[in-house]
Structure 1
């Protein structure tokens, strides 16, 4: 392993961990991951780059393996969690099994939202996430901005949200089933945690027929009002487009979603 392990070494020593792979750097969050062995368990050691990532670690611990990867230890910027036995849901979608993948995502979200016996960690309101859209002056985002404003002013069923549920953030943990990783952690309407399913895992998944099928399946499975779920999908697509404008990245998927949602 040629990567620099100096930042990991204090945690390797503290938790008696043995490195088992190379350091991986996450392109968006800039957090770093190192596959390790904790005793007889394959694990992943994550070093957070931001306060938001640190909050995610405390939320993962609060979920206690119910819908999310089990946390073995966490302290300051370091999170030690069990390592997935398999991969993501992306290949399932690409193999034509979108309905099965959507069902798994719905099951994971339901487990994350289930009541716990203790109060959740403190997390910011969902409205904070939408600043980029609310403050955007792009006229093509006006409908999405208006919808987001209305939804945020009248929230229903508030829960601690994962905030970034999609096909690559739910992994196969073998006997423990499919579990989520990398939460953002926000407090808001539970329907929002389903909104990011629609534009994922790639642009090929964004078609009118697939959107309609997913909308019906998610609304039925999660007991959500279809029009309300559609509105959250619209708001999220606008938010995604606003982020792409800020970052100078390709907005094709977000714009394709907006085209579907604004065609009716």
Structure 2
């Protein structure tokens, strides 16, 4: 799989392959400099590759080449990890770092837009779960419909921002990888940072309350609107997890949704 791309860009292998559900990655050297070769296996990853190229290294890893299903980009060589920082109690700093990275990603570009989906199309996946499960799913869908009917600040979104998708690129700072192809209100992109199911503390009420405040301030977002996006997104995420049979992850997202509901009920 890698061989045609290694020849195309005259690359030297510099590590073991990394296999994910949607792509195969290989550390390489390009003219002696570290780089990462990514081969997209599905449509979502292929569209994500196009978006990475469109960002042109501003807020995201620099793309050196895009050929067929292959993407050649700079490799994160820094030793810091946002997940490790969050687990060590540095949530505030992590949230501010990600907010700054998203501000760069959300900035307008002069280049023509790559193919994108709307948030409305994404949230269609929540409807079957709301009909079948009711409860929090129904509340989440109603909130999503309210948000989508009153759009604000439309931008090209990352779509899957979390602690392991913003990496340490040393002198270049913290940069994003692995985007989805979606456009919509910028507030959506901050929800997953709060409810990331891979972070064990994301359902902790004290952590939740604190990070809502930190992110709202750092990103210049209205607190209530951010909470609404958290509620909408956690329902959508839980629906996706149920589709994949990942019940524990879905339950985790619903716990965070309940936190958002309680916070919204107490909002002025």
The alignment status of 1:22 with 2:16, answered yes or no, reads yes
Aligned residue number for residue 149 of structure 1: 145
Range with bigger deviation, 241-250 or 204-213: 204-213
Aligned residue number for residue 94 of structure 1: 87
Question: Structure 1 stretches of 5 or more lacking a match?
Answer: 1-6
* C-alpha distance in structure 2 between counterparts of 1:185 and 1:24, whole Å: 22
Aligned residue number for residue 134 of structure 2: 139
Cα shift at 1:205: 2.6
Aligned residue number for residue 124 of structure 1: 117
CA deviation map 1:7-40 (0-9, x unaligned): 110000000001111111114x3x1111111112
Aligned residue number for residue 234 of structure 1: 231
Q: Structure 2 matches for 1:1-264, cutoff 5 A?
A: 7-27=1-21, 29=22, 31-86=23-78, 87-136=80-129, 137=131, 138-140=133-135, 141-200=137-196, 201-249=198-246, 250=248, 251-263=250-262, 264=265
* C-alpha distance in structure 2 between counterparts of 1:84 and 1:99, whole Å: 22
Range with bigger deviation, 204-213 or 101-110: 204-213
TM-score where L is the length of structure 2? 0.92
Contact 2:119 2:182 in 1 (8 A): yes
Cα shift at 1:88: 3.0
Say which SS state the counterpart of residue 184 (structure 2) adopts: strand
- RMSD (Å), alpha carbons: 1.3
Cα shift at 1:119: 2.8
State the number of aligned residues: 256
* C-alpha distance in structure 2 between counterparts of 1:74 and 1:117, whole Å: 19
* C-alpha distance in structure 1 between counterparts of 2:27 and 2:243, whole Å: 33
Higher helix share: 2
Say which SS state the counterpart of residue 163 (structure 1) adopts: coil
* C-alpha distance in structure 1 between counterparts of 2:94 and 2:193, whole Å: 10
Contact 2:157 2:189 in 1 (8 A): yes
TM-score where L is the length of structure 1? 0.93
Say which SS state the counterpart of residue 73 (structure 1) adopts: strand
CA deviation map 1:154-194 (0-9, x unaligned): 21111110100000100000000000000002110010011
Contact 1:203 1:252 in 2 (8 A): no
Cα shift at 1:134: 2.1
Following TM superposition, the consecutive aligned residue runs of length 4 or more in structure 1 with deviations greater than 6 angstroms are none
Cα shift at 1:55: 1.3
* C-alpha distance in structure 1 between counterparts of 2:43 and 2:89, whole Å: 38
